[in-house]
Structure 1
Amino acid sequence: MDAIAWDAPDADHPARRAARASMTAVAEGRKADWLALFAPDALIEDPVGPSFLDPEGAGHRGPEGIENFWNSFISTIAGFRFRVADSFAGGPCCANVATITTTTPDGATMTIDCVLVYTVDEDGRITSLRAHWEPDRAMATLTTP
C-alpha cells in the first residue's frame, strides 16, 4: 500500500499542495523538507486543544517548536500511512478528511481519524496546521504485535 492514498478532490490549490507535500515528507521521513514547508511563525496544533501530546493545548510555534514536535512525536513512529477521503480548499486554507495509520518500531499500530486544516501564506508556506482528532478514539484502535 502506498504511504499516501488521495481519494479526494485534487484541484490545484496552494494549501492543498502544502498538505500533500507535508504528508509526503512525513511518510518518507524527510525532516528537513518538512520543516522547510513552514513559515517562520507557523503554529502546529496536533491535536487541537489539550492532550497527552500537548497538556496545555498551546500548540508548537516557530522553527524550534515545530522541530521539537518532529523530534518528540513524528520521529518516534516507524511508519505513516495517510488516506485522504475528502478535501475542501478555499481562501488560504484546505481541510482534509483523513485517516492516518501509524506503526511504531515494535509493530504496534494506531488509527487516527481526523480533519487536517492547513493554512498557507502568499508564498504557499504553512502558517497553521490544525489537526482535529480525539486521542481517546485513536488510543482505542491501538493494536500490539
Structure 2
Amino acid sequence: MTSKPHLAVEANKKSVKYASEGNKEAWLALYAEDALVADPVGVSPMDPAGEGHRGIAAIEQFWDTVIGPSNIQIRVEKRWISGDYCCCVAQVARNDLGDGKYADCDMLAVYEVNEEGLITRMQAHWDFDQLMTQIAAAAG
C-alpha cells in the first residue's frame, strides 16, 4: 500500500528549505491569502499585540523584517501529524551571527494546511528572551 505525502509535512519541508535558501517568493507562495503566522506565539518585539501576522502582506512584512535579513539554517528532528496539522518537535533555527558564532533557536512549530496544501496557520513556540541572551553572549 502506497501512502501519499502528508500536505502539512510537505509544507513544513518546503518552508524550511525556502527560508534557509532565502527564497522569499517561493516561501510566500506556500501561504493561503488569509493565513496566520505567529512566530513566536504571543507578545514579542516582532508582534507587540501578540496576535500574529495575518494575510500575505503582513506575512511578507514578517519575512522582510525577520527571516530575510537573517542567515538561518533550520532542521527538524521529528514531525508528528494529526489531521491537517504537522507538529515539528525540536525544530531548530541556527542563526549565523558571523565570525563563527551562532545562536540556536529551539522551537516547536505547528503547521496547518488547507485541502490544496497551502499553509493556513503556522505557530512557532519559542523563547524570545532566551534567544536574545544567546545573541548578547555571542556578541560579548
The alpha-carbon deviation at position 76 of structure 1 amounts to 1.3
Partner of 2:108: 115
Q: Does 1:82 align with 2:77?
A: no
| Cα 1:13–1:20 shift into 2, 3 Å | same
Partner of 1:40: 33
Deviation string, structure 1 residues 51-109 (Cα, Å, up to 9, x no partner): 111111011110100100011111111x2111211110110100002111112467653
Deviation string, structure 1 residues 10-62 (Cα, Å, up to 9, x no partner): x9311000000001000011100000000000000000000111111011110
**Amino acid corresponding to residue 43 of structure 1 in structure 2:** L
What is the alpha-carbon distance in structure 2 between the residues aligned to residue 20 and residue 111 of structure 1?
A: 19
Q: TM-score, normalised by structure 2?
A: 0.89
Partner of 1:134: 127
DSSP-derived class of the 1:51 partner? coil
What is the alpha-carbon distance in structure 2 between the residues aligned to residue 14 and residue 53 of structure 1?
A: 28
Gaps in structure 1 of 5+ consecutive residues: 1-10
| Cα 1:52–1:129 shift into 2, 3 Å | same
Q: 1:58 aligns with which of 48, 51, 63?
A: 51
What is the alpha-carbon distance in structure 1 between the residues aligned to residue 97 and residue 28 of structure 2?
A: 22
Structure (1/2) with the larger helix percentage: 2
Q: Does 1:124 align with 2:85?
A: no
Query: Could you tell me whether the CA contact under 8 Å between 1:19 and 1:118 is conserved in 2?
Result: yes
DSSP-derived class of the 2:49 partner? coil
Q: Work out the percentage of aligned pairs sharing the same amino acid.
A: 39
Q: TM-score, normalised by structure 1?
A: 0.86
Tell me the C-alpha RMSD between the 2 structures: 1.8
Q: Does 1:100 align with 2:93?
A: yes
Gaps in structure 2 of 5+ consecutive residues: none
Aligned ranges 1:3-22 → 2 under 5 Å: 12-22=5-15
DSSP-derived class of the 1:39 partner? strand
| Greater Rg over alpha carbons, structure | 2
Q: Aligned pair count?
A: 134
